[in-house]
Structure 1
Amino acid sequence: MRIGQRPGEVCDTAERGALEERFYQLYIAVEQSPVATAITDVTGRIEFVNQRFLDVTGYSREELIGKTPAMIQSGQTPDEVYRDLWATLAAGRVWRGELLNRRKNGELYWESEIITPVRNDRGEVVNFVAVKEDVTERRRQENELRLLATAFETGQATLITDAEMRIEKVNQAFTDITGYREEEVIGKTPKLFKSGRHDSAFYARMWGELLRFGHWQGEIWNRNKHGDIYPLWQSITAVVDDAGEVRNFVAVFHNIAERKRMEKELEQQATRDHLTGAHNRRAFDVAVRQALKQAEQDGEPFTLLLFDIDHFKSVNDTHGHDTGDEILRQLTRQVGDSLRSTDLLARWGGEEFTILLPDTQLRGATTFAERLRCQVAETRFQGLSITISIGITQYRPGDSLDDLIVRADEALYRAKEAGRNGVVINSGEISRVTEA
């Protein structure tokens, strides 16, 4: 103790030093806090900000001290939010909420804030302490999840499985297409929907591509709850974790039955004769060219028939074109009923038709032609008796489509010259007539 110093001064100095030390420690703790902190006076003017506040906003202390938080406002937060904030603080209560603010560089960011009134010894509010947390990433993730949830429920049919293909979740569009409710499929595998139309090789290719590339898409036929088989366009994606291990599979699909129906209708329009429903000349040409290619590869023969209705012009002239058209349609149906699934009937033009008989020798084609000629002659078409003349030729190595048509046409011509209602064979070397 110094001479003249009062005894209490030593204690006061020591306490003041300890208090300053504690205050300094508190200051360091707030300054180094990972949470942005600001202290304002009761008018909202900033008196203190910590380093995290500077890091988040991009401003310096000199730019912030003495200003109000209005300088970091985005202008996009509704006014009622601020009215509620100040009404809460004016009532001496703590305010909690989220604000959309703007950094110095113009970038928008979300903050979750807690603003607390600070009172003096007399209970008067003298400051506000704002503790802020940047929740921009959380808000982005929440928004993304909301979008995904919306897409999941309003988009295409979707199912999610675990790594073992056990179904974990499906959406309403899935139920609309398959007929299965979520509780009926959870824990089961997509084998439940197999139609039986695909062999094991199809699924092996699908899974090989999925596991190799993480994605597969294509057309697949499934069976719904009611037993109906229908076509889908399906996309399957493997979802992997940070270690690269598959955690889930996500399948998205839609029913393409209507598209398939339209495709079939367009195909028929492009390949079928509009009056009779038989194949048209274009489809016939394609089929014969394929038969030629196949015959060149394996040496299997095929036969071509060309026939027309005898005296058909007089039928039209006497009974009208409507009757003639109906005879063409009825004849097409009768001939079609006599064919195998591999045979092809086409309307060549007018009352002339062609028949392609794959894997058929000349003798078998002749027997078929004779039987067909007799059936037509014995049938009444629109109450009328009609007959047909038929020319036959067989594929020979080196033949072209034109070669076949020319020989068949020559045979048909000789059948007509021989009195009609007959069959003529043109082998390229000899011709003979089979008479009625």
Structure 2
Amino acid sequence: MHRLLLRQLQRHLGKDFVPEGGWPQFLGAVSDHYEVSDQERALLGNALHVNSDELTAANQRLRAQSEQEHAQLRGVIDSIPDLIYFKTPEGIYLGCNQAFERYAGLPESSIVGNTALSIFDSTTALKMRARDTEMLTGGKAVVSEEWVTYPDGGNICLEVLRTPYFNSAGSVIGLIGIGRNITERKRLEEERRLAALVYQHTAEGMLVTDADYHIIAINPACARITGYELQEVLGKSPNIFNSGRQDQYFYDSMWEAINGAGYWHGEMWDRRKNGEIYAKSITINQLLGDDDSLHGYVVLFSDITEKKQSEELIWKQANFDMLTGLPNRRMFRDRLAQEIKKERRAGLSLALLFIDLDHFKEVNDTHGHLVGDDLLIEVARRIRECTRDSDTVARLGGDEFTVILTQLEDSKFAEVVAQKIINCMTEPFVLGEDVVYVSASIGITLYPDDAIEVEQLLKNADQAMYAAKNMGRSRFSYFTYTLQLAVQNRVRLIHDLRVALAAGQFCVYFQPIVHLATGRIHKAEALLRWDHPERGMIGPAEFIPLAEESGLIIEIGDWVFREATRWLTRWNGIVPQGFQISVCASPVQFRSEGNIPRDTWSDHLNNLGIPGKSVIIEITEGLLLDADPDIVNRLLRFRDAGIQV
């Protein structure tokens, strides 16, 4: 190496050049220099090799750390329920989280590099772009509420925050969007809005108190119903509305329910600011926090005064006679049932008086119904004056009244009251310009001596009243078992009468009338008899009144007429001079509309070829005394047909 170096130096410096100290010394110095240089190069090489390994390891560590941080950041972003996405200013997606993937219905790999037009429908995409542009133009974050539809059809409301992000030079290089699901919040806000509208505009009064039951808020309806404004009741107890109609027991029971069940509903009477008492339907609810601690009370109420007044009117109409103000039949029966229970527990008696006015019909017919109504009102007043406050006076209808005398220790007290009523009824009734006179017949029955049931007591008193009428009116009569037997017999006879005609149990007998001068039978009177299957022959005096009362006399009387004329046809063929039959007619037959035997009987005679003079219709004097023009006209038609009356 030294010889090569020597030749190179001599070629460049000349063969005559000789270094100081000679070539051996120079070459030795050079050799020493290169040896040191080689050593330094060797050390540098070793150092560079070591630094390269360290850099590679450091690089790997940084890369791993970066990947870990990226994974952590990605995990954080994906765990956020809000929709997060990144875009370029041109609207190209740079990234998103899983929540946004679910909304788009695509993985992130299909979203990145595309615009909204490639992912969503055009309407949605254009709206997104318009809002992005608005934000980018303004250069600051904007917030909007947007209703979006998921691929599965779900519809939610998002609160979307769009904000730009900048480079180090302050230029906008993209935007970040964050969408939060606020559907539940919107629902709650709508509920609160509706609740506020209801609170302000409902017709139902509302007030809110704190836990100590002091008023902190009222709605307009509460102010309108009570007459108080909020400033007048703020901090006060709702007890300022109390009317005094409810006792302390009522309020104790109310609070017991509120404290036990958390609410109470009922009705109460309160007082308005102007002092007016009114009825209200009210509900009180506790206001509890999430930890069940008491925050206050909500009171809801409505004015039901008109409803209560209507209910009271309906109740009165259902239970009281609107003319006299007395309890009606319905209320009477309820009162009698209650009094029976009381007397049974106390071991006492009661008396039931059944009062019927005598000659009331004549007053109505003569003076008119208005006077008749005034009479009933005055009768009710007089009867009340004859009884005690503990007794019940009722009007059953028409001219029928009842009195329940309670807590009787002596039954003779019933006689005293009955006689007082009879006496006061005989006094004249001055009704405006009219003066009328009536009397009263009263039936008396006793509990428990005569009966223990409402129906039976009423029947007993009714039977006793009719007995008083039959004895001459203006008197009283006690119920007896003889009366009961008579009534039972009467009911059975009426029942049997309804089938007697169809069963052929009636027959007509003829009482002949003999001409004394000639000894010839030229007339006969038709007499009705009832051949009862159990009792045998029953005379008309027993069953005709029942037939008249039940209305069966119309059909029976018509049958008698036709049966008599049938026999008359036979006898006219036997007696050359002609025969005449008389038939009795009941006043009921003339007074009953649609059943008057005027034209039908005349037509029947014509059909049989019997002259009218062959028939005599017998009537009572009472029919003529009480005959209206219609009855007179019917009698005249008989006369015109040749029938004698």
Q: For residue 42 of structure 1, what is the aligned residue in structure 2?
A: 89
User: Match for 2:348: what amino acid?
Assistant: E
Alignment-derived partner of residue 155 in structure 2: 108
1:311: Cα distance to partner? 1.4
Structure having the larger proportion of residues in helix? 2
Residue of structure 2 equivalent to 1:434: none
- Equivalent runs, 1:177-188 vs 2, <5 Å: 177-188=225-236
Residue range with higher mean Cα deviation, 142-151 or 192-201: 192-201
* 1:220-264 superposed Cα distances (whole Å, 9 cap, x missing partner): 222222222222221222222233222222121112212212222
Displacement after TM superposition at 1:279 (Å): 2.8
Residue type of the partner of 2:429?
R
The residue identity in structure 1 corresponding to 2:332 is: F
| AA of the residue aligned to 1:32 | V
Partner of 1:183, secondary structure, is helix
User: C-alpha displacement at 1:101, in angstroms?
Assistant: 2.3
Identity %: 31
Counterpart-to-counterpart distance in 2, 1:339 and 1:80: 91
Which residue of the other structure, out of 180, 183, 190, is the alignment partner of 2:238? 190
Q: CA deviation at 1:171?
A: 0.9
Match of 1:235 in 2: 283
Unaligned runs of 5+ in 1: 431-436
Structure 1 pair 427/212, CA: closer, same or farther in 2 (3 Å)?
Answer: farther
Query: For residue 307 of structure 2, what is the aligned residue in structure 1?
Result: 259
1:322 deviation in Å?
3.5
The one-letter amino acid of 1:140's match is R
User: Partner of 2:281: helix, strand, or coil?
Assistant: strand
Distance 1:151 1:74, change over 3 A: farther
Aligned to 2:447: 395
Q: SS of the residue aligned with 1:201? A: helix
State the Cα distance separating 1:40 from its structure 2 match: 1.0
2:163–2:176 CA contact under 8 A, matched in 1? yes
Task: Give the 5 Å matches for 1:326-405.
Answer: 326-336=374-384, 342-361=390-409, 362-382=411-431, 383-389=434-440, 390-396=442-448, 399-405=452-458
Task: Return the index of the structure with the highest Cα Rg.
Answer: 2
- What is the identity, as a one-letter code, of the residue corresponding to 1:391? G
Say if 2:104 and 2:120, in contact at 8 Å, map to a contact too.
no
8 Å Cα contact 2:111-2:119 kept in structure 1: no
- Give, in whole Å, the separation in 2 of the partners of 1:159 and 1:415: 66
Q: Secondary structure at the match of 2:144?
A: strand
CA contact (8 A) 2:166 2:174 kept: yes
- Aligned 8 A contact 1:41 1:127 in 2: yes
1:16-415 aligned within 5 A: 29=73, 32=76, 34=80, 36-51=83-98, 53-54=100-101, 60-69=107-116, 83=130, 86-120=133-167, 125-155=172-202, 156-336=204-384, 342-361=390-409, 362-382=411-431, 383-389=434-440, 390-396=442-448, 399-415=452-468
Distance 1:98 1:225, change over 3 A: same
- The separation in 1 between residues aligned to 2:208 and 2:424, in whole angstroms, is 60
Q: Is the 8 A contact 2:135 2:162 kept in 1?
A: no
Runs of 4+ in 1 over 6 A off after TM superposition: 1-5, 12-15, 17-24, 55-58, 70-77, 79-82, 427-430
Instruction: Give ranges in structure 2 of 5+ residues lacking alignment.
Output: 1-43, 484-645
Specify the code of the residue in structure 1 equivalent to 2:455. D
Match of 1:416 in 2: 469
- Count the aligned residue pairs: 426
For 2:211 and 2:127, how far apart are their aligned partners in 1? 48
Partner SS for 1:105:
coil
Contact 1:76 1:100 in 2 (8 A): no
The CA deviation string for residues 313-349 of structure 1, in whole angstroms up to 9 with x for no partner, is: 2222322333323322333345456665554332223
The two structures have a TM-score, normalised by structure 1, of: 0.81
TM-score, normalised by the number of residues in structure 2: 0.57
Per-residue Cα deviation, 1:39-94 (whole angstroms, up to 9, x for no partner): 112232321113564577776423533444579989999x9897566344335443
Code of the aligned partner of 1:101: V
Q: Distance in 2 between matches of 1:40 and 1:27?
A: 20
Distance 1:158 1:75 in 2: 50
The answer as to whether partners of 2:387 and 2:417 remain within 8 angstroms in 1 is no
Quick one: distance in 2 between partners of 1:127 and 1:18? 27
Instruction: Look up the SS of the partner of 2:243 in the other structure.
Output: coil
Moved more, 261-270 or 398-407: 398-407
| Distance (whole Å) between structure 1 residues aligned to residue 268 and residue 123 of structure 2 | 49
Q: 1:74 to 1:307 in 2, by over 3 A?
A: farther
State the 1:353 CA deviation.
Answer: 1.1
